Structure formats: C-alpha cells, structure tokens
C-alpha cells in the first residue's frame, strides 16, 4: 500500500538536507518533492545568472531540478518533484486547478494538514513529501526527522494565536506582523 510522508522545515536549507539524505538512502528522486518560499533567495539565485537548480542543488537528483514557479497565495516558490506537478496538472480531490491545497489533499493529506503546510510555505518555510510503501514509511520518516523538521502541532498553534485559520490563496506573500519594510518614513 502506498503512503505519503510529509514534513515541514523552517527554511530551504534544512529541507534540502532532508532531500539529500533521502536520496543517499536510495529513495528515487521521482518519489520526492520539495516546495519552498524565500522571497530574497529566489531573487538572489536568479540574479547570479544560472539555473536555480544548478545553484541550489548542484549535480544530479531532485535538487538539480528546482525551478521558480508562481503559486497563488505564496508567490514565486522554488519547487521540484511530483507534488508540484500535481499542482500544475489540475484539479485533485475537488479543489481548483493549480491549487496548492488541491495538490496537498490529492497527495493524501487532510484539509487541515494541507492548509498548515501551504501556510508554512507561504511564511518562508519548506515542505518535503515522499511517496513510499507502508513498509518503508517508518525509515523515511526517521530520515526526515533527522533533518530537524518543524513541530507541526506547535507551529499550527502559533499561527492560530496570531489569528490564522486557513491558507488563503488570495492573500499574497506573507508579511510578519513585525515587518515594517512597507512603512514609509
């Protein structure tokens, strides 16, 4: 029976560590997905003149295929793998075509989990998902835990204390309540 294991990370670097460890353990790149959003990083990578994947991942494997893609509610996100392909292909699990929530629920997550993972990406985090068999799920989970994922329960509670209830595709890129960069002096 197939299973999907998903973890969120505070930044792309930690997620890339998880991906590298998964590939080193023999997980095929076709079974791994990564989606991350870091507003400054995408622009920095693009201005260095080169392919995002070549800069971010180097060499073969999933990270070599990272590309900047527009995701409603997030902005230009870096992504590679089967999960983002599901976002581009169309409607899954009754969600709108191109929807990040639709891709996440189509991968087997509950609506609640999908909204949490999408919001984590929106706020500058990264998500790694792996398709595997039930017999390999525990080993895959252990590898992903070794890269220092976010405690999803605690993070969701933090979001909710700020008034968050669900991911909003129309909200645009996240600005923290403490971000004063848009204030004109």
Mean pLDDT in residue range 51-75: 69
Helix (H, G, I), strand (E, B) or coil at 116: helix
6, 152 Cβ separation under 8 angstroms? no
Mean pLDDT in residue range 12-16: 95
Enumerate long-range contacts of 20-25, CB under 8 Å, 24 or more apart: 20/61, 20/63, 21/143, 21/146, 21/147, 22/128, 22/130, 22/140, 22/143, 22/144, 23/61, 23/62, 25/139, 25/143
pLDDT(16) > 80: yes
pLDDT, tens only, 117-176: 999 999 999 999 999 999 999 999 999 999 999 999 999 999 999 999 999 988 877 876
Domain locations along the chain: 2-161
Model confidence, pTM: 0.82
79, 69 Cβ separation under 8 angstroms? yes
- Quick one: what percent of the chain has pLDDT higher than 90? 52
pLDDT, tens only, 62-72: 888 888 888 88
């Amino acid at each position: 029976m197939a299973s999907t294991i998903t973890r969120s990370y505070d930044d792309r670097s930690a997620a890339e560590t998880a991906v590298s460890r998964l590939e080193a353990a023999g997980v095929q790149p076709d079974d791994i997905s990564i989606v991350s959003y870091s507003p400054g990083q995408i622009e920095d990578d693009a201005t260095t003149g080169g392919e995002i994947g070549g800069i971010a991942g180097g060499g073969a494997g999933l990270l070599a295929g990272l590309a900047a893609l527009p995701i409603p509610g997030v902005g230009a996100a870096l992504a590679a793998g089967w999960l983002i392909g599901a976002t581009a292909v169309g409607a899954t699990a009754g969600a709108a075509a191109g929807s990040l929530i639709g891709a996440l629920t189509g991968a087997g997550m509950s609506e609640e989990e999908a909204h949490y993972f999408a919001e984590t990406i929106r706020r500058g985090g990264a998500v790694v998902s792996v398709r595997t068999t039930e017999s390999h799920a525990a080993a895959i989970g252990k590898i992903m835990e070794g890269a220092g994922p976010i405690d999803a329960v605690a993070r969701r509670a933090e979001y909710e204390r700020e008034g968050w209830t669900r991911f909003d595709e129309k909200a645009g890129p996240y600005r923290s309540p403490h971000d004063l960069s848009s204030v004109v002096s």
